[in-house]
Amino acid sequence: MARTGRVSREQSELNRNSIIATSSQLFRERGLDGVSVKDIMAAAGLTHGGFYGHFNSKDELEALACEQALKGSYMAIAENQVSDFPQLVERYLSLRHRDCPASGCAIAALATDVQRKGQDKPIHEPYIAGVKNMTEFIKNMQSDGSDSTIGDKHLTQFALMAGALMLARATRGDDISGRFLAAAKTALLEMAETKK
């Protein structure tokens, strides 16, 4: 006779991971406040009531989902064998990335939501760490190893990448959307050729 009632520890961990992965995609696609706990649990195939067995609050889940999304971005870069800055620019500012926010850069997807959250909210820590890590990653792709500091050039490059992606997503359906991506690509590739 099959046991009913309590979920095994292993199944509970699988459910928790499923909730984090599902919310990571939904938050990037619809925004932090555009998705309810009920929406997340339904998308994960779980009951709404089980949420608080895994998390203390939606705020806690937002931070965990942001952290997972950022890790996923680095894994995608590695899996796609992006090895230099021009390749990163091409992938980041592509129509495909613009049109797939649920699986794309969490930094661009969540920027406006994070700025509206109070500074005491847990999402700020992983988000800021992600911004710093991405800027460091951009620097390392262009460095010969002799300079260990992130320069204004690297901050500008990332700001241009994320800003162009955000504007392209916001204007999708108009020809200016693709123009934002193309103009940013041109400027970034020219900037990469110049010294600090």
User: What would the pLDDT profile of 7-17 be if each residue is shown by its tens digit?
Assistant: 788 998 999 99
Q: How many CB atoms lie within 10 A of CB 57?
A: 13
pTM to 2 decimals?
0.88
- What distances in angstroms separate CA 143 from CA 51, 83, 131, 155, 181, one per listed residue? 45, 12, 18, 14, 24
* Domain residue ranges in the chain: 9-193
Q: How far apart are CA 91 and CA 72, in angstroms?
A: 15
Task: Say if residue 163's pLDDT is above 70.
Answer: yes
What is the domain class of 9-193 according to CATH?
A: mainly alpha
Query: Can you give the C-alpha Rg of the chain in angstroms?
Result: 19
pLDDT 10s digits, 89-143: 999 999 999 999 999 999 999 999 999 998 999 999 999 999 999 999 999 888 7
